[in-house]
Structures are given as structure tokens and as C-alpha cells.
Amino acid sequence: MNDCKFFGKIISRTITKRYETSKIEIQVEVQKQRKSKSGLPVVDKSVLNFEAWDSAAETLEHNSTVGDYLVISATAKIRETNKDVYFRINEFKIVSSTSLIDA
């Protein structure tokens, strides 16, 4: 099983509800820090696609907003239609952007 861990900022989110099922799709900007060949620090930013269903989707819908940060444990998946990689959220913790300023 592929268990991936991420920390990043929510940059967009889309909520859909069909019958009794809720789904949220979010894009999260994550940063990877490394050193260049010259030894200077470099920050690489990537935008990753995540989805959550049912109670997790509803929790994210009601308790997070664009700009908040998430600590995420997820499983990598591949869409059959276009072969894009996305991540299914297994567990998460919301870190509001205001609490980071207070720290």
C-alpha cells in the first residue's frame, strides 16, 4: 500500500453532493526544499490534487477554507480516463492560516 504524507496550503476546492454522498476535490500547494549544486537553498512548489468522500469531505467543507494548511495522509491513485495522478485522503489535520501567524 502506498501511504503518502504531505503538508501544504489549500489553493482551490470543489464540493459536490449527489444523493447522500459528499465529495470534495482540493488542490494543495506543497513545497520541497533542497540545495542546488552550488549549495544555495532552492524551494520547488508543486500543486497536487486530492479528494475526500463522505464525512471527511463534509469536515473539510465546513472547517477549512482556501489558504488553510493541511497535514495529509493519502493514497496515490491514477484516473482511468486521463491517467492523471491524484491522492485519496485517508487522514488529515487542518491548520488554519491564522494559527500559523500566532505561532
DSSP secondary structure letters along 39-77: S-EEEEEEEEEEEEEHHHHHHHHHH--TT-EEEEEEEEE
Given a cut of 90, whether residue 12 has pLDDT beyond it is yes
Task: Give the separation between CA 2 and CA 26, rounded to whole angstroms.
Answer: 20
Task: Give the separation between CA 51 and CA 77, rounded to whole angstroms.
Answer: 10
pTM comes to: 0.82
Contact (Cβ atoms closer than 8 angstroms) between residue 19 and residue 35: no
pLDDT score, position 91:
94
- Give the rounded percent of residues in the chain with a pLDDT score beyond 70: 92
Q: Once rounded to an integer, what is the mean pLDDT over residues 33-41?
A: 88
pLDDT in tens, 61-96: 999 999 999 999 999 998 888 888 899 999 999 987
pLDDT score, position 22:
94
Contact (Cβ atoms closer than 8 angstroms) between residue 74 and residue 87: yes
